[in-house]
Amino acid sequence: MQAGTQESVIDATDETPEWLNAEYFEKVLQKVRDDTSLSVQQVEVKSAFPKGVNYASIIYRVRVVFRAKDQFNCTRSYIVKAMPEEGLAKQKLGEYNVHGKEMDIYQLVIPELKQLMRSIGDNSVLYPTTLTIDRTKNIMVFDDLSSKGYIMADRFAGLDLLHTKLTLKLMAKLHAGSLELTSMHPTIFKGYKTGMVTRETDAFYPLFYSNFDALTEEISTWDQEWHYYANKLRKLRPHFVEQGLKVYDHQSDDDLRVLSHSDLWVNNLLFKYDANGKPIDVVLLDFQFCCYSTPIVDLCYFIFTSTQDFLRQNCFDELVQYYYYNLANYVKKLKYTGKFPTLHEFQRQLLKKLFYAVFTSIVCLPVQINEDTTDADFDALLGSDERACRFRKTVMSNKKYHKIIKGLLPTFDRKGLLEKLE
């Protein structure tokens, strides 16, 4: 390629914005590297993920070849995250302001969280590094961590104990850091009210009810012994969303409140491995649904959607204790002086919010482990047409999900979680 020329290569299957090209990245990199002589030679834009992996945003992987004053034909890879520009996704996600909130988090909060961890000697990556937050184009540009060896784990297999403990430790860092931030800046999370389940908008309520109904209908086709649970669910239905909402409600000043990620599952995590394939680090992505709420949201959501079934069914108490001890350790290191619960007090808070294990197991888990991506998109998630109904039928007829939910329903029932809760 001749010096001074620019080339943009677009994946023909993507509806990529025309401005996402060599000229755009030249301006971004010149500013980031403080080098006006930097010249972009080539840009290659492709979709970052296959269908069915991501529903709430449009994500591109961009390979950029450039020349700078200190480098010749340098190649870097970046991630560009944008919002859907039309249709049901734009409408519903707009009611949550997911993109504006996430821009604020990466610009205003994550640098503070990273600095707090560095102050206690933790220099791990923790969260993606942003090159630019472009509010004019309504996009965020990140370093592509795959070039540094970070990859997604298998969402169908579930995370084993090593992956799970790494994630719980990262979760504890996020929550402990947010506690200290709140003591430093008491109003920093004032505007973060809308988690995935919220009273601020009913945009996702059709998804909550339709998945609940689809599961009830599916169970009704099973052997007679399972009809007991179908009847339980029918009685629970009028209260299902309200009980999910109560998890997010602030009910007592004694309850721990943190910056909850609220969408903490395997596809929002990137792991790095050693030469023997052992996970040694993890990075947390995607802050679209984060809110100031109970840490129980993240604990239940993560464990019940993303761990191996053995851990989900048998090790919940052990994993909660592991998270709590890490949280207490980081709170102590950060010299947080606010009220902090004992393990027993935290367990009592957990018991009040444990319904979220039921909620995520019914609404989120079956979608996340669905392997048939024929109809897997945002319109199918929230729609009511024939294609949406077909998608929900596919999701709920998954034999792997049947095995999981058959193990969980008796446990939930014994704990009284399939009853109307006061």
Q: How confident is the model at residue 225 (pLDDT cuts 50, 70, 90)?
A: very high
With a pLDDT cut of 90, the percent of the chain lying above it is 79
Of the listed ranges 68-77, 206-215, 333-342, the least confidently predicted one is 68-77
Tell me, what's the pLDDT at 87? 72
Report the DSSP beta bridge partners of residue 10.
45
- Per-residue burial over 69-104, b = 16 or more CB atoms within 10 Å of its CB, e = otherwise: eeeeeeebbbbbbbbbeeebbeebbeebbbbebbbb
132-146 mean pLDDT? 94
In angstroms, rounded to a whole number, what is the distance separating the alpha carbons of residues 78 and 94?
25
Tell me, what's the pLDDT at 51? 56
Q: What pLDDT, in 10s, does the model give residues 89-123?
A: 778 888 888 899 999 999 999 999 999 999 999 99
Tell me if 195 sits within 8 A of 291, measured CB to CB.
yes
202-213 mean pLDDT? 94
In angstroms, rounded to a whole number, what is the distance separating the alpha carbons of residues 235 and 49?
39
Tell me, what's the pLDDT at 3? 38
Question: What 3-state DSSP class applies to 8?
Answer: strand
The residue with greater pLDDT, 386 or 172, is 172
Of the listed ranges 94-103, 124-133, 231-240, 398-407, the least confidently predicted one is 94-103
In angstroms, rounded to a whole number, what is the distance separating the alpha carbons of residues 103 and 294?
22
Tell me, what's the pLDDT at 383? 83
In angstroms, rounded to a whole number, what is the distance separating the alpha carbons of residues 244 and 282?
29
Annotated domain spans of the chain: 7-82, 90-130+149-414
Average pLDDT, the chain: 91
List all residues 6 or more positions away from 200 whose beta carbon is below 8 Å from its beta carbon. Answer: 96, 193, 194
Tell me, what's the pLDDT at 406? 98
Q: How confident is the model at residue 68 (pLDDT cuts 50, 70, 90)?
A: confident
Q: What pLDDT, in 10s, does the model give residues 312-349?
A: 999 999 999 999 999 999 999 999 999 999 999 999 99
Tell me, what's the pLDDT at 373? 81
N residues, the chain: 422
Tell me if 140 sits within 8 A of 59, measured CB to CB.
no
**pLDDT at residue 5 greater than cutoff 80:** no
Give start and end residues of each alpha helix (H) in 279-385: 296-306, 309-314, 316-333, 343-353, 355-363, 365-368, 378-382
CATH code for 90-130+149-414?
Answer: 3.90.1200
Cα 138–Cα 143–Cα 148 angle in degrees, nearest 5: 155
Sign of the Cα torsion 165, 170, 172, 173 reads positive
**What tokens appear for 42 in the block?**
């080539």
Q: What pLDDT, in 10s, does the model give residues 275-316?
A: 999 999 999 999 999 999 999 999 999 999 999 999 999 999
Tell me, what's the pLDDT at 53? 56
Q: What pLDDT, in 10s, does the model give residues 146-170?
A: 999 999 999 999 999 999 999 999 9
Q: How confident is the model at residue 8 (pLDDT cuts 50, 70, 90)?
A: low
Tell me if 85 sits within 8 A of 57, measured CB to CB.
no
Tell me, what's the pLDDT at 2? 37
* CA-based nearest residue to 247, from 197, 205, 189, 306: 197
Q: What pLDDT, in 10s, does the model give residues 376-416?
A: 787 888 888 898 899 999 999 999 999 999 999 999 999 99
Tell me if 194 sits within 8 A of 200, measured CB to CB.
yes
| Amino acid identity at 248 | Y
